[in-house]
């Protein structure tokens, strides 16, 4: 994990990168140049954030001294408000420190698949899609649906969407797993309670510099007509692409581009990201086997329950964090669940 608050180290690295970008041969390798510029921008942003916080804190200290000397109640309130804002920013910086894995700053590719149960599970998958799209919107991330398979009567069977923004994978990576819903079914005329499942898988959008070995002979490529309740995200044409990777069983689709070629390129990027994350997951599982006290968290495990009847509660089974205020969560307010998982994950690494 990187030393996030080591300012001298970051300033030294920024100087190195500035020297590199100033060389005449810098643009000889465009891919390498882009990676360097990205790292440079990220480090500069971190330095600027920290310096801004330090400067604001110094200003507040001066204001606090004046308010105490003059016994100015308005200035005292202003100091308290400013300190609260700084506290929030420091907490956000702390979570960025926790998000120190190489892929954490990447965009996220999120897939949702309805479990067994027909319409109930497909409707639940649609609810999860809305929840994550609202989360992205709330946090200033850009989202784009690249594949959507409509449910038989309601909801969806599967969908894949891209979440773009700094640290979007880092924040969403803990959402991978099975999500369980308990509610009175809106599709059951007898108003019985139903339990539904949907799986979520999150992988980082990897850049072209990362090699993922894919043999064309292992791929089955099918074309089909795009359909479903994708709204403006889905073009109803014959250009949709589905790629099946035989050795892993991974299936990816794309239907939002205007041509088969573009859809195939996007689908291949998603496939590379999926295979890359699956390999990372295998390595993590092998490391976890060395420590039997670690709680197993893998693809297919139930990570969270959303209970709407007979009581209202959402609980994460890994961290034990829970809330009875379910509506904001289903409307995308996932920050407390995500932060509790990141803290839990960080503690697991240090234990």
Residues of the chain with pLDDT under 70: 1-5, 208-210, 227-238, 284-301, 349-351
What is the model's pLDDT at position 296? 36
103 phi and psi, to 5 degrees? -95, 0
Residues 285/176, Cβ–Cβ less than 8 Å: no
What is the model's pLDDT at position 228? 52
Residue written as token pair 């996030």: 4
pTM for the predicted model, two decimal places: 0.72
For residue 217, cis peptide bond before it (omega within 30 degrees of 0): no
What is the model's pLDDT at position 336? 93
What is the model's pLDDT at position 291? 41
In angstroms, the CA 88 to CA 49 distance is 13
DSSP character at residue 78: H
In angstroms, the CA 199 to CA 175 distance is 9
With the C-alpha atoms ordered 13, 16, 22, 23, is the resulting torsion angle positive or negative? Answer: negative
Could you give the residue range(s) of every CATH 1.20.58.410 domain in the chain?
Answer: 7-98
In angstroms, the CA 153 to CA 130 distance is 18
What is the model's pLDDT at position 325? 97
What is the model's pLDDT at position 108? 96
Residue written as token pair 């773009």: 164
The first and second tokens of residue 148, run together, are 């959507």
Residues 63/78, Cβ–Cβ less than 8 Å: yes
Domain 7-98 has CATH 1.10.357.10: no
Q: Helix, strand, coil shares of the chain as percentages rounded to 5?
A: 50, 20, 30
With the C-alpha atoms ordered 335, 336, 337, 342, is the resulting torsion angle positive or negative? Answer: positive
What is the model's pLDDT at position 3? 45
Per CATH, the architecture of 108-350 is what?
2-Layer Sandwich (3.30)
In angstroms, the CA 110 to CA 270 distance is 10
End-to-end Cα distance, the chain: 15
Could you give the residue range(s) of every CATH 3.30.70.1660 domain in the chain?
Answer: 108-350
139 phi and psi, to 5 degrees? -105, 15
What is the model's pLDDT at position 44? 87
Residues 168/132, Cβ–Cβ less than 8 Å: no
Residues 4/96, Cβ–Cβ less than 8 Å: yes
């Amino acid at each position: 994990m990187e030393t996030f608050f080591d300012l001298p180290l970051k300033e030294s690295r920024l100087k190195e990168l500035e020297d590199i970008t100033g060389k005449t041969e810098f643009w000889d390798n465009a891919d390498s140049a882009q990676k360097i510029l990205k790292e440079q921008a990220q480090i500069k942003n971190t330095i600027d954030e920290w310096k801004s916080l330090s400067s604001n804190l110094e200003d507040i200290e001066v204001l606090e001294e004046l308010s105490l000397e003059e016994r100015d109640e308005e200035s005292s309130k202003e100091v308290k408000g400013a300190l609260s804002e700084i506290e929030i920013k420091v907490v956000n910086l702390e979570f960025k420190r926790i998000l120190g894995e190489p892929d954490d700053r990447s965009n996220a590719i999120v897939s949702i698949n309805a479990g067994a149960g027909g319409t109930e599970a497909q409707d639940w998958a649609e609810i999860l899609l809305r929840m994550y799209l609202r989360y992205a919107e709330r946090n200033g991330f850009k989202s784009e649906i690249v594949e959507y398979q409509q449910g038989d009567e309601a909801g969806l069977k599967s969908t894949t969407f891209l979440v773009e923004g700094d640290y979007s994978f880092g924040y969403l990576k803990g959402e991978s797993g099975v999500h369980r819903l308990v509610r009175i079914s809106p599709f059951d005329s007898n108003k019985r309670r139903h339990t539904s499942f949907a799986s979520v898988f999150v992988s980082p959008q990897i850049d072209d510099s990362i090699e993922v070995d894919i043999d064309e002979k292992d791929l089955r490529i099918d074309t089909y007509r795009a359909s479903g309740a994708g709204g403006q995200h889905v073009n109803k044409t014959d250009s949709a692409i589905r790629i099946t990777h035989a050795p892993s069983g991974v299936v990816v689709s794309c239907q939002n581009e205007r041509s088969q070629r573009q859809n195939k390129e996007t689908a291949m990027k998603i496939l590379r990201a999926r295979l890359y994350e699956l390999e990372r997951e295998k390595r993590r599982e092998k490391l976890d086997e060395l420590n039997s006290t670690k709680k197993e968290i893998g693809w297919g495990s139930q990570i969270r329950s959303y209970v709407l009847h007979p009581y209202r509660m959402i609980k994460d089974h890994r961290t034990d964090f829970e809330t009875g205020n379910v509506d904001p969560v289903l409307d995308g307010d996932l920050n407390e669940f995500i932060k509790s998982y990141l803290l839990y994950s960080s503690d697991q690494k240090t234990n």
